[in-house]
Amino acid sequence: MKGLRTTIVAALMLTTVTVSAQKPLTLENTVPGGSEFRKHYNAPAYGQFAGNSDIFIATESDGYHIGDAIISPKQIDKTLTDNQKQHMSYIVGWQNAEMVWVYSKKGSAAYAINLKTNTIADSITQIDDDGETDFSPNFKYIAYCYGSDLYVAGRNGSRKVNADSLPGVVYGQAVHRNEFGIEKGTSWSESGRLLAFYRMDESMVGEYPIVDITEREAAVKPIRYPMAGDTSHEVQIGIYNTDNQNIVYLKTASPVNRYFTNIAWSPDDKLLLVAELNREQNHLWLNVYNATDGSLVKTLFEEKNPEWVEPCIAPLFISNSQFVWVSERDGFKHLYLYDINKSTCKQLTRGNWCVTDLYGCNRASGEIFFQANAEGYLTRDIYKVSPKGKTTRLSNGYGVHSARFSKACGRFVDDFSAPDYAILSTLRNASDGKVIDTLKNVRNTYEGYTLPIIKTVNLKSADGRFDLCGRLILPADFDSTKTYPVIDYMYGGPHSQLVDASWLYGASTWKMYFAQQGYIMFTMDNRGTESRGVEYEHCIHRRLGTCEMEDQMVGINYLRSLPYVDTTRIGIHGWSFGGFMTISIMLNHNTEFKAGVAGGPVCDWSLYEVMYGERYMDTPQENPDGYARNCVADSIGRLNGRLLVIHGDIDPVVVWQNSLRLLQNAVEEDVLVDYAVYPQHEHNVIGPDRVHLFKRILQYFDDFLK
DSSP 499-515: --SSGGGG--HHHHHHH
* Rounded-to-integer distance, Cα 435 and Cα 446, Å: 26
Q: Is 479 in the same domain as 617?
A: yes
The pLDDT, as a whole number, for residue 345 is 95
pLDDT band at 83 (very low <50, low <70, confident <90, very high): confident
Quick one: pLDDT at residue 520?
98
**pLDDT tens readout for residues 508-535:** 999 999 999 999 999 999 999 999 999 9
Between helix 577-588 and helix 546-560 the angle, nearest 10°, is 70
Among 310, 341, 374, the domain boundary falls at 310
Rounded (10°) CA dihedral 376, 379, 382, 387: 30
| CA distances to 105, 157, 186, 192, 365 from 108, in Å | 5, 11, 20, 21, 42
Domain that holds residue 643: 27-39+445-704
- Count CB-CB contacts under 10 A for residue 459: 18
Q: Do 628 and 554 share a structural domain? A: yes
Nearest CA to 276 among 256, 306, 247? 256
- Is the residue at 189 inside a domain? yes
One-character DSSP codes across 587-637:
HHTTTS-SEEEEES----GGGSBHHHHHHHH--TTT-HHHHHHT-TTTTGG
| 486: phi then psi, degrees, rounded to nearest 5 | -125, 140
Average pLDDT over residues 14-31: 71
Q: What is the mean pLDDT of residues 642-664?
A: 98
What is the domain count for the chain?
Answer: 3
Shortest CA distance to 159 belongs to which of 168, 147, 150, 167? 150
Q: Kindly report, residue by residue over 430-477, the tens digit of the pLDDT.
A: 999 999 999 999 999 999 999 999 999 999 999 999 999 999 999 999
Q: Give the residue from 265, 282, 310 where a domain finishes.
A: 310
pLDDT at 2: 37
Whether 411 has a pLDDT exceeding 70, the answer reads yes
- pLDDT confidence bin for 42, thresholds 50/70/90: very high
pLDDT number for residue 76: 81
> Can you list the alpha helix ranges (DSSP code H) found in 464-533?
509-516
434, part of any domain: no
Same domain, 597 and 645: yes
Q: What pLDDT digit, counting tens, does each position of 553-583 carry?
A: 999 999 999 999 999 999 999 999 999 999 9
Residues 619, 479, single domain; the answer is yes
261 and 345 both lie in a single domain: no
CATH assignment of the domain containing 335: 2.120.10.30
- Do 417 and 456 lie in one domain? The reply is no
Residues with Cβ < 8 Å from 582, sequence gap 6 or more?
490, 572, 573, 574, 596, 597, 598, 601
Same domain, 597 and 469: yes
pLDDT of the residue at 458: 97
Q: Pick from 474, 266, 253, 506: which is nearest to 378 by CA?
A: 506
Residues forming the active site: 576, 651, 683
Give the residue from 332, 266, 255 showing the smallest Cα distance to 300.
266
> Does residue 553 form part of some domain?
yes
pTM beyond 0.85, yes or no:
yes
Chain segment 326-361, per-residue pLDDT in tens: 999 999 999 999 999 998 999 999 999 999 999 999
Q: Based on the fold, state whether residues 649 and 599 are members of the same structural domain.
A: yes
Contact 73, 84 (CB under 8 A): no
Q: Is residue 187 part of a domain?
A: yes
The Cα–Cα gap between 348 and 321 comes to 17
Tell me the pLDDT of the chain averaged across its residues: 94
